[in-house]
Amino acid sequence: MQTHAASVIPLFARFPALQSIPRAPLCLLPSPVERITGMPGVDSLWVKRDDLNAPLCGGNKVRALEFLLGSVRPGDTVLTLGGAGSTHVLATAIHARRIGATTTAVRWRHDMNSMADAVSERIGSELDDPRIGATTLGALLRAGYLRLTRTVHFIPVGGSTPLGALGHVNAGLELAAQIQAGEMPVPRRIVLPLGSGGTMAGLALGLSIAGLDIPIIGARVAPRLFANRGTVARIARGTARLIASLTGEAPHVIHARKLGIAHQAYGGAYGRPLAAGTDAASKLAEISNIRLDDTYSAKAFVVALECARAQEGPTLFWLTFDARWLTS
């Protein structure tokens, strides 16, 4: 059963000292788990419906934003950056507005798809300045200038910081509680999109804290330079140190062997559709109310299907964006 954000989240139940960290109650948690039936050749495939974790623009980003926007007040300005079709930029603008803040976003161009176009269009309607720069480097330089010349709350690309990753540690503990309650069996593996790394890092740490030895496979959707095992491990270690500094407990350890990277899902460029992903998303839409975006979820779903067909035991696919919200 879903509970409202005002309830004590698993992270705070496990670490009461962390309640000293400001948190904006943006989510409706826990997000449900469902079994997917009707996909050819698939026996045990489950989905964590994080697309349903907020009243609008649900997904993994809003979990991080609960902590990243915790100290933001009405009238403040939030500065972030990302690609033209960044779901992080969109989620930041939408949820910052929910608490009365405005968002300035610096964006750059990249390969697009129909869902990325829809995201970009909605971002433009949320911002006072919807301009899109030509290059990533130019965007980084402009963001640096704005940080120096304006009073803003800065959120890095993807919101992938130890503070933001706390939202995904909570997700790992939330999943552990759902497994304990019998809502789904213990998955043999979890598959999710890997972009800036915060979701995978926090989830791995949360599962470790819960005592669950479950491998996580990140379907890489961004360049290897940024989306890699080292980045995920670094964020996880930083998050573990943050928790330890506030609780007095020894930092929890993440074993790199439990972090797998699936490179075959990338498709050559961030935002470039993967034909197999588009096909898999279409099949899933025929048998459920689940919609996948081509930038992140459809690519990861291909990897989840491969695992579910080739390996024994339950596979859990972590759905990280509510594409229905933009297509309904």
If asked whether residues 228 and 273 sit together in one domain, one would say yes
Q: What is the DSSP letter of 133?
A: B
If asked whether residues 198 and 236 sit together in one domain, one would say yes
pLDDT value at residue 38: 93
Domain limit, last residue, from 102, 124, 159? 159
> Which DSSP string corresponds to 54-110?
SSSS-BHHHHHHHHHTTT--TT-EEEEEEETT-HHHHHHHHHHHHTT-EEEEEEE--
Rounded alpha-carbon distances, angstroms, from residue 90 to 73, 75, 105, 171, 195: 19, 19, 9, 21, 15
If asked whether residues 110 and 206 sit together in one domain, one would say no
pLDDT digits (tens, 9 = 90+) for 140-167: 999 999 999 999 999 999 999 999 999 9
pLDDT digits (tens, 9 = 90+) for 24-77: 999 999 999 999 999 999 999 999 999 999 999 999 999 999 999 999 999 999
Cα(153)–Cα(103) distance, rounded to whole angstroms?
9
If asked whether residues 104 and 246 sit together in one domain, one would say no
Residue 154, C-beta contacts closer than 8 angstroms, at least 6 positions apart: 78, 79, 80, 143, 147
Residue 30: asked if its preceding bond is cis (omega within 30°), the reply is: yes
Query: Number of structural domains, the chain?
Result: 2
The residue-averaged pLDDT of 107-119 equals: 94
Cα(248)–Cα(245) distance, rounded to whole angstroms?
6
The residue-averaged pLDDT of 90-114 equals: 96
Identify the three-state secondary structure at position 249. Answer: coil
**Diameter over CA atoms, the chain:** 56
pLDDT value at residue 1: 35
Burial class (CB in 10 A: 0-12, 13-18, 19+), 94: buried
Residue 328: pLDDT band (50, 70, 90) is low
Q: Which residue has the tokens 């890095």?
A: 156
pTM of the model as a whole: 0.95
Percent of the chain with pLDDT over 90: 92
- Bridge partners, residue 186, by sequence: none
CATH number of the domain at 155, please: 3.40.50.1100
Q: Which residue range forms the structural domain that includes residue 211?
A: 3-58+160-327
Residue 3: pLDDT band (50, 70, 90) is very low
If asked whether residues 28 and 94 sit together in one domain, one would say no
pLDDT digits (tens, 9 = 90+) for 318-327: 999 999 888 7
pLDDT of 2 over the 50 cut = no
pLDDT digits (tens, 9 = 90+) for 269-303: 999 999 999 999 999 999 999 999 999 999 999 99
Q: Write out the two tokens for 258.
A: 């439990």
Identify the three-state secondary structure at position 291. Answer: coil
